[in-house]
C-alpha cells in the first residue's frame, strides 16, 4: 500500500486532536480561571531508502564524494498538549469574598473525600456553619484565627500539615468580614465593644516549581504530579505568590484572535491531509485499472 495514504491518515488524526483542544479553549472563553492549552506535532518514523556514504579524499584509495541519506517520512504524531499558565487579568465582581491572585500562587481546597485540590479561582463564601468554602462547596485551607502570626509570613514545604479548613466559631456574631491583601480574614465582633475587629483566619498560598506539570482535574482544579514538584506554602504576597485582591476573579486566558487563527490553520491542514488520501486512492484505482 502507498505510504502517503497512512501519512494522510496520521495527519487527519493529529489535526482532529488539535481542533478538539481549540474547541475546548473556545468553549471556556468565559470560564473564570481557565487556562488554555495548545497542541504541538512531531514527525514520526522514517524509512531509509539509502544510507549516507563517507567521502574519501584523493590519495587515500578510491576517491569519492560523500552522499547524504535518503529517507521517506511516515507521517505525524501529537508531541504534546501543553497548558498555557499565563496569568489573565481580573474582572470586577463587587463580591467582597471573591479573591483574585495577583501573582503565581494557588489556593488549596479540600473536598468531602479529603482529596486536596489547588485552584486560582477564589469564589469564596461562608456557609451556615461559618466554614469558608469555594463555589463547589469545598473547604478552603489555611490558618485559624488563633494561629495567625503576621510576623512569620513564610511557611515553606514542611508546614502543609498545619493548614486546616478555615472555620469561624460563633460566626453569627461577626459582620463586615473582609479578606486583606495578605490573606488575613477579619471581622467585626458585635459582642466585643472594646476590640471589635478580630482576626478570624488566614488564607494560605501555594507555589510549584513546575506549574506546567500540574494535572488538570476539571472545575478549574489542578493536582500535583511527579513533574510539578510538591506545593510550597507562603503567606499571600510572599515568594511571588501574589496578593489576595478582593471583589475580583481571574478571567480566562483564552485569546480569541489566536484561537481563530489556529482554527483556520488546523482546518486547512486537515483539508490538505484529506486531499492526500483522496489522491492516493485515485492512484491506487489507476493501478487496479491497469489489469483491464
Q: What is the pLDDT of residues 254-292, one digit of tens each?
A: 999 999 999 999 999 999 999 999 998 888 888 888 876
Residue 154 shares a structural domain with residue 223: yes
Please name the residue that has the C-alpha cell 480574614: 185
Query: In sequence order, what DSSP letters do the residues of 8-43 get, joined into one string?
Result: HHHHHHHHHHHHHHHHHHHHTTT-TT---EEEEEEE
**Contact, 163 vs 142, CB < 8 A?**
yes
Mean pLDDT throughout 38-49? 87
8 Å CB contact between 178 and 186: yes
- pLDDT at position 62 is 66
- For residues 84-95, give the mean pLDDT: 93
Domain encompassing residue 15:
3-85+259-289
Is 119 in the same domain as 69?
Answer: no
Look at residue 292 in the predicted model and tell me its pLDDT: 66
d(CA 206, CA 189): 30
Is residue 215 pLDDT above 60, yes or no?
yes
Worst-scoring range by mean pLDDT, 80-89, 149-158, 227-236?
149-158
Q: Is the pLDDT of residue 1 over 60?
A: no
Co-location of 40 and 97 in the same domain: no
Q: Say yes or no: 20 and 44 in one domain.
A: yes
| Domain total in the chain | 2
Report pLDDT for 212.
93
| 242 lies in the same domain as 282 | no
**Residue indicated by cell numbers 479578606:** 179
User: Do 245 and 167 have their domain in common?
Assistant: yes
Rounded Cα gap, residues 245 and 85, in angstroms: 19
Q: Are residues 149 and 272 in the same domain?
A: no
Query: What is the predicted pLDDT for the residue at 58?
Result: 64
Q: Are residues 78 and 167 in the same domain?
A: no
Q: For helices 256-289 and 3-27, what crossing angle results, to 10°?
A: 160
130 and 197: one domain? yes
224 and 114 fall within a common domain: yes
237 and 159 fall within a common domain: yes
- Residues 112 and 240 grouped into a single domain: yes
Amino acid at each position: 500500500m502507498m505510504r502517503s495514504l497512512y501519512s494522510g491518515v496520521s495527519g487527519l488524526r493529529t489535526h482532529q486532536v488539535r481542533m478538539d483542544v481549540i474547541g475546548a479553549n473556545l468553549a471556556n472563553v468565559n470560564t473564570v480561571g481557565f487556562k488554555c492549552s495548545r497542541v504541538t506535532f512531531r514527525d514520526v518514523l522514517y524509512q531509509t531508502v539509502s544510507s549516507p556514504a563517507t567521502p574519501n579524499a584523493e590519495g587515500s584509495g578510491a576517491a569519492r564524494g560523500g552522499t547524504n541519506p535518503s529517507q521517506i517520512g511516515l507521517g505525524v504524531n501529537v508531541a504534546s498538549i501543553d497548558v498555557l499558565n499565563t496569568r489573565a487579568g481580573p474582572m470586577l465582581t463587587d463580591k467582597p469574598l471573591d479573591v483574585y491572585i495577583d501573582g503565581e500562587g494557588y489556593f488549596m481546597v479540600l473536598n468531602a473525600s479529603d482529596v486536596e485540590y489547588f485552584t486560582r479561582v477564589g469564589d469564596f463564601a461562608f456557609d451556615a456553619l461559618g466554614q469558608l468554602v469555594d463555589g463547589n462547596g469545598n473547604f478552603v485551607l489555611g490558618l485559624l484565627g488563633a494561629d495567625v502570626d503576621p510576623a512569620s509570613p513564610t511557611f515553606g514545604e514542611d508546614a502543609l500539615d498545619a493548614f486546616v479548613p478555615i472555620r469561624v466559631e460563633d460566626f453569627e456574631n461577626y459582620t463586615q468580614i473582609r479578606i486583606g491583601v495578605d490573606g488575613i480574614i477579619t471581622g467585626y465582633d458585635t459582642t466585643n465593644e472594646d476590640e471589635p475587629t478580630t482576626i478570624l483566619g488566614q488564607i494560605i498560598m501555594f507555589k510549584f516549581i513546575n506549574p506546567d506539570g500540574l494535572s488538570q482535574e476539571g472545575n478549574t482544579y489542578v493536582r500535583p504530579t511527579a513533574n510539578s514538584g510538591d506545593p510550597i506554602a507562603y503567606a499571600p504576597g510572599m515568594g511571588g505568590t501574589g496578593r489576595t485582591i478582593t471583589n475580583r476573579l481571574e478571567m480566562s486566558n483564552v485569546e480569541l484572535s489566536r484561537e481563530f487563527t489556529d482554527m483556520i490553520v488546523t482546518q486547512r491542514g486537515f483539508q490538505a491531509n484529506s486531499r492526500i488520501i483522496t489522491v492516493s486512492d485515485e492512484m491506487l484505482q489507476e493501478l487496479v485499472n491497469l489489469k483491464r
